[in-house]
Amino acid sequence: MAELLRVEGLRSGYGEAVVVQGVDLVLPQGESLALLGRNGTGKTTLLNTLVGVTRRHAGRITLAGHDVTALAPHQRAAAGIGWVPQERNIFKSLTVDENLSAVARPGAWTLARAYELFPRLAERKSNLGNQLSGGEQQMLAVARALVLNPKLLLLDEPLEGLAPILVEELLRSMARVVRDEGMSAIIVEQNPRMILPITQRAVVLDRGAVVHEGASAELLADRARLDRWLGVAKH
C-alpha cells in the first residue's frame, strides 16, 4: 500500500518548550490511526504540528511524497490536510449550508454526501452555527473537513463532551468514513475502546514519545498494555 504520511524525528512544542520528543510515524494510504495516551502526553501537540500551528524544533513531515515541513497551515490544507480541532472552529454566524459551501472543494465528498452522512445537518441546513447543539456543531466540523476532500483527516477528540446518543451517531459516521470508505485519518480519543474498533493501527504516546505502535485489534485485546498506558482495562 502506498505511503501517505511520513513523520521523521519530529520534535515540537510551544516556544522553547518541547512537547513532542522525536516521533517517527508512517501512515499508508487508506489506513486510519488511533492516537492514544493519557492527558498531557502530546497527542494534540502532534496533530497541531502536522497542521503547522506549533513550533517545530526538528524533524520532517512528508505528505503523499511532498515535503510539507516548511509550509504554512493554509498551504498544508491546500496540500490535503483536513483538520477538526477540539474547538471545532465552525463559522457560528453562518448557516450550516454556508459553512460547508464556503470551504468545499471539488471531489468525492460533496455537500449532498455530507448531508447524507449527517441527516441532522440536512434538517438544519438553514440554521446558524450558534443555533446548533454541541454534537451538531461537531458533526458540522467533521462535514466541513470532509468537503475539503482532504488526503488526510485529523480529528482531535471528536467525541469529547457529547451526549451518549450523539456519541453513537458520530461514531457510526466516523466508522463509515474511515473504515468502510477508506479515508486516511488520525484520530485522537481518550476512550480507546470506542476508537480502536474503527481504526486499523494504533499509536500510544507517553511524555511526547511513541511507546507502542501496532494493530488496533491487538491493542484492544491486550488488557495489560491498555491498563499500563491508558488505565482503562477495567472499564
The answer to whether residue 6 sits within a structural domain is: yes
Count structural domains, the chain.
1
Task: Give the per-residue pLDDT at 230.
Answer: 85
The answer to whether residue 167 sits within a structural domain is: no
Give backbone dihedrals phi and psi of 147, rounded to 5 degrees, phi first: -75, -5
Q: Per-residue pLDDT tens for 22-78?
A: 999 999 999 999 999 999 999 999 999 999 999 999 999 999 999 999 999 999 999
The answer to whether residue 165 sits within a structural domain is: no
Q: What is the mean pLDDT of residues 3-23?
A: 96
Residue 153 pLDDT > 70, yes or no? Answer: yes
Cβ-based burial of 124 (10 A; exposed 0-12, middle 13-18, buried ≥19): buried
The answer to whether residue 169 sits within a structural domain is: no
- Domain interval for residue 17: 1-80+184-235
Q: What CATH number is given to the structural domain containing 47? A: 3.40.50.300
The answer to whether residue 148 sits within a structural domain is: no
Strand positions, DSSP E, the chain: 3-14, 17-28, 32-36, 55-63, 66-67, 81-84, 152-156, 185-188, 201-206, 209-215
The answer to whether residue 26 sits within a structural domain is: yes
The answer to whether residue 154 sits within a structural domain is: no
Q: What is the DSSP string of 102-145?
A: TT--SSS--HHHHHHH-HHHHHTTTSBGGGS-HHHHHHHHHHHH
pTM of the model: 0.94
The answer to whether residue 205 sits within a structural domain is: yes
Calpha distance 155→44 (Å, rounded): 10
Sequence length of the chain is 235
